[in-house]
Structure formats: C-alpha cells, structure tokens
Amino acid sequence: MSWVASLARPEIAGLEPYDHAVWEPNLTRLHANELPWRAIADESLAGLNRYPEPQARALIERLAQLYRVPPEHLLISRGSDEAIDLLVRTFCRANEDAVLVCPPTFAMYAGAARVQGARIISVPLVAEAGFSLDKDAVLAQCGGDVKIVFLCSPNNPTGNRIDSEAVRDVLTALIGRAIVVVDHAYVEFSNGADGLYRPPRPPNLAILRTLSKAHGLAGARLGALIADPDVISLLRKVIAPYAVPQLVIEAALSVLTAVHLRTLPKRIAQVRAERFRVSRALAGLPIVKSVLPSEANFILVRFKDPVAALARAYGARLLIRDVRGYPGLSDALRITIGAPEENDRLLQAWA
C-alpha cells in the first residue's frame, strides 16, 4: 500500500473512482440523460445542456502551465475552499484524527476540520517574532493522529510569509506521516516565490493556489491543489465529478490568456505600490498603534480604539475586516488594498 493510501481514511483508500458518463467529445451523447437542445438563451461554447468534462483537461493544462507543474500534479476545485474540505474529508477520521493549524490564520482550515469531526491542534504563530512559525512546537505536537498540517504563506490575516526553511524542515520531518498543506493564496503579491515545489520535492507537500486573489476571479470560484500524483488521484475519487461548472471552465480559459498574463505583473505592482503608500500613511495616523509589514494584498493594523476606527470607516461607507476575535489580535483590523481612490477615502475617514 502506498504511503498516501495508508495515511488516508481506509474507506477512501478503498474507494473505486465514481463511474461518471464517459467523456468522448466527438461522439453523440445518449448516455447521460441530458436534453439534446440548448436552452434558448444559452450562449455558452459547449452548451449548458451537457454535463461539463470532469477535471477539464484544457483547464488543467492551462493552470499547470501557469504554475509550472506537470498536469498530473494538479486538481481543480471550486476555490481553495473546496480543496481544503476535500483534504480533511479524505485524510481525517471523525473523532480520531487531527489537523494542526497555526493561528491566527485562515479560519477555513479549522472550519473544515469541525465539519468533518476531526480534532484541531493549535500551535500559535509567534507574535513577538513577526508571527513566525514555531517549528519545534509544530513537530512536538505532531503525533500519529495529525494527518494534515496547514500553513498559510503569506498568512491571512497577519500578512507575513512563513520562513521557507522552517516549512522545509516540517515537511522533511513529516514525510510518510502527514500532509503539509502550504496555502499560497497571496503568493503573487509577495517578494518572490519560494520555489517550494521545485524538485527535489517532498512527496507530502500540497500547495493551494487560487484564482480568487491576484487573478481577479473570486466570483468564478476556481482553485487548484498541487500535490503528488498519488494524492491527486485519491482526491479525484472524492471530489464531485462535475465540481467545476462549464461556465467557469469557459470563463477561466477565456480570461487566462497571454494578454492577462502580461497585465498581471502591472496589477500586482500597483497593489504593492498602494500597499506601501497606505501602510506609510496609516503609520502616521494618531489613531493607529502599528502597521504590520505585509506581503499580501491586505494590511493588518493595530488601533488604539479599533471599535471607533471600524465605526468611522463604516460611516464613510467602507467595509474593513474586524479580526479582533483572532488570538493575539484584539486591537487589529484587516484592510484590503483597494483602488487608489478607495484607499484615499479610507485614509480621509481616519485622518
């Protein structure tokens, strides 16, 4: 049995792939109980009367090219949210297995664990050291019941990157014992990729990528999990056969063109320039205690009176994220970098 199968829930490891209708685009489809005619206003390319291609090949190839990985290392999902849920459902038995998270971090990891009934082991990031990873504590807490370690880099909501040497050490120590998921939702905004997925690549590494942030496709709900082909094959047995809708496949293929990829660095540079400008301006405001350094498209800010700051922003019809419920962030708000005029409105509201 492969290490992946022995790590997974036994019922999942033994699962036969769902026997969906055969995908043979050149043959006439009398095998999937679809209607032979399009709806009157259906302007899609393939026709929404037809089920979409499961794990659509063209989209997988486009994303594999984008992320510079072989196609068989990539699973497409309804946003990273679905990939997180799939990982937890595939590897964690309810009431027996655990996931390890490093708060303050993205709430979906613990949320998916709660839905599955998996235990949650928390090893906080070290606030005094810029929310860095407590590698030794993570490894000390990784008993046999921990099946997945979730690391987020750059981290939401703190904005800092997790040191890639520490990530590598965790990966190496947990080979054959646990999957280490590195969530790269904001990596495009950071100071250079850390090359984690380059060979030699630990087999227990899984990377989450999303089109929701830098690519501007949050409404499409499209993400990718990049992992060892054995992990991908296993997850393909668990994911819904028609997880990614035809409209999303077509929208993503029409957006992810050479023109888009040429525009992307300019957009990212603009966000980074605004992040710098807004951070500086916020640091000079009397209501602000401190502005944390960020490598994402948001800034975490500590306030003398966060409730008043929230109210003033809301009064100016601006929504910002109240993150005071996270451990160690009782005075903090998270601000997404908007367009320059939107950022100006926020700075004026707080001036």
When the beta carbons of 98 and 296 are compared against ligand PLP, the nearer one is 296
State the minimum distance, in angstroms, from the CB of residue 213 to ligand PLP.
6
When the beta carbons of 9 and 213 are compared against ligand PLP, the nearer one is 213
Residues 226-285, interacting with ligand PLP (CB under 6 A): none
When the beta carbons of 9 and 161 are compared against ligand PLP, the nearer one is 161
State the minimum distance, in angstroms, from the CB of residue 80 to ligand PLP.
4
152 binds ligand PLP (CB under 6 A): yes
State the minimum distance, in angstroms, from the CB of residue 64 to ligand PLP.
17
190 binds ligand PLP (CB under 6 A): no
State the minimum distance, in angstroms, from the CB of residue 10 to ligand PLP.
29
224: helix, coil or strand? strand
Residues 91-120, interacting with ligand PLP (CB under 6 A): 106
Pick one of 52, 54, 79, 202: the residue that binds ligand PLP (CB under 6 A).
79
State the binding string over 192-231 for ligand PLP (x if CB under 6 A, else -).
------------------x-xx----x----x--------
185 binds ligand PLP (CB under 6 A): yes
In SS3 terms, the chain reads as CCHHHHHCCHHHHCCCCCCCCCCCCCCCCCCCCCCCCCCCCCCCCCCCCCCCCCCCHHHHHHHHHHHCCCHHHEEEECHHHHHHHHHHHHHCCCCCCEEEECCCCCCHHHHHHHHHCCEEEECCCEHHHCCECCHHHHHHHCCCCEEEEEEECCCCCCCCCCCHHHHHHHHHHCCCCCEEEEECCCHHHCCCCCCCCCCCCCCCEEEEEECCCCCCCHHHCCEEEEECHHHHHHHHHHCCCCCCCHHHHHHHHHHCCHHHHHHHHHHHHHHHHHHHHHHHHHHCCCCEEEECCCCCCEEEEEECCHHHHHHHHHHCCCCCEECCCCCCCCCEEEEECCCHHHHHHHHHHHC
Pick one of 97, 183, 250, 295: the residue that binds ligand PLP (CB under 6 A).
183
State the minimum distance, in angstroms, from the CB of residue 211 to ligand PLP.
7
182 binds ligand PLP (CB under 6 A): no
Q: Identify which range of 77-85, 92-100, 142-150, 196-204 contacts ligand PLP by CB under 6 A.
A: 77-85
* Positions that interact with ligand PLP (CB under 6 A): 79-81, 106, 152, 156, 183, 185, 210, 212-213, 218, 223
